[in-house]
Amino acid sequence: MLRILDRNFEAVILDNIREGIILLDEKLNFLFINQEAEDILGKSRKLLQNKKSINLIDKNVVKLIKEVKKSLKTKFVNDIDIRDSLGNKNICSIYLKPIFDYSGKIPKLNHILVQFANLEGMSFLNKKTKFEDEEKLMSQLFYGLAHEIKNPLAGIKGAAQIGISIKNQDSTTQECLTIIEKETTRLQHLVDTFKHLQPHSEQNYKKIKINKVIDEAIKLAAKTYLDKKIKIFFNYEDDSKNVLCDEGLLRIIVQNIIQNSFDSIKNIGEVSITIKSTKDFKLSNKNLIQIEIKDSGKGISKKNLDMIFQPFYSTKRNGQGIGLFLSQKIANKFGGFIEAESKLNHGSKFIIYLPDI
């Protein structure tokens, strides 16, 4: 009776641990697959055991299994992308161990044990920590520079305006002074942008309805891009989703990303916005809200995608490279961050993660 109970406990434990486990025989047939492995691979144990084909699972995993069978050596890969049957990507570590039968004179391969650890949550938290560290450093740097530049700019602009007001000047001088005034005004606007990086106390934050902010951003974009035929889809679970933040700063994030989506569409296209809760990960013991903004625009190359959140980097002809940088830093202030996925000529997807309240 005790042995039967022990086996039952083993089954319960194996099906509920947070690691995926697969056991293969020497011919690479599936002998066992637990629930977590099913979730990661997107295949049921019944299918895998009945079909008896290892090629049903992700090709990267298959390659590693075959390498272990050939080398007869344990293998560990810390960071591997595993795609399920729907094409969804899981970031995992994988441990593969050959198990031998030592009953004969020569050890014989009997099984291969495969263990998966889903690193998505760890990757998520690492990104969050990385963004927080960068946010502190960059915010201090840019806010300090903005403070130091603002006063000299005001003096330069004032001197140019006085010069312009003097009568009977030659045309070249007048033209140069006008350029100085125009450019100092542009730089003042740029410097004013960095005031949003100054420290904000959470005590001044309020509960803000996300739907309201997004609705206003959609209306503004629709009026601004009247020459384009863009369909807008806005989906949400309910209209009660709130975040604790500064409404004006949240509006900057949403408007920047929606505007980029509209800019990326040449004439005809679609922009879809989805708000949903996710309980897969927690930050500061809080669940997260995802604001997903997806477009059918021209997309972003892999090279540019790695740099879009850096200051002064822009793929637009007349872009300043401030919008996404600023949006990321503001999201960090709210305890969240922004991710981007894109493929050239296949559109882009930006996901804003913010703590639920």
Q: Under DSSP, is residue 99 helix (H, G, I), strand (E, B) or coil?
A: strand
Question: What's residue 89's pLDDT?
Answer: 75
Residue 130: CB atoms within 10 A of its CB come to 11
Question: What's residue 295's pLDDT?
Answer: 94
Spans of the chain below 50 pLDDT: 1-2, 4-5
Same CATH fold assignment for domains 120-199 and 200-357: no
Beta bridge partners of 23: 32, 113
Q: Which of 352, 219, 226, 213 is nearest to 293 (CA)?
A: 352
Query: In this predicted model, what pLDDT tens digit does every residue of 234-277 receive, in sequence order?
Result: 988 766 678 888 888 888 899 999 999 999 998 899 999 999 88
Q: Which of 128, 193, 229 is nearest to 325 (CA)?
A: 193
Beta bridge partners of 160: none
Topology of domain 2-118 in CATH is Beta-Lactamase (3.30.450)
* Architecture in CATH of 200-357: 2-Layer Sandwich (3.30)
Domain boundaries 120-199, CATH class: mainly alpha
* Cβ–Cβ < 8 Å for 18, 36: yes
- Total residue length of the chain: 357
Show me where the domains of the chain are located. 2-118, 120-199, 200-357
Question: What's residue 171's pLDDT?
Answer: 82
Question: What's residue 201's pLDDT?
Answer: 62
Beta strands in the chain (DSSP E): 19-25, 30-33, 75-83, 89-101, 108-118, 206-209, 229-236, 242-245, 268-283, 286-295, 337-342, 348-355
pTM over 0.85: no
Query: In this predicted model, what pLDDT tens digit does every residue of 326-342 receive, in sequence order?
Result: 888 888 888 888 889 99
Question: What's residue 73's pLDDT?
Answer: 93
Query: In this predicted model, what pLDDT tens digit does every residue of 99-120 receive, in sequence order?
Result: 999 988 888 999 999 998 877 6
Question: What's residue 173's pLDDT?
Answer: 84
Angle at 33 between CA 30 and CA 38, to 5 degrees: 120
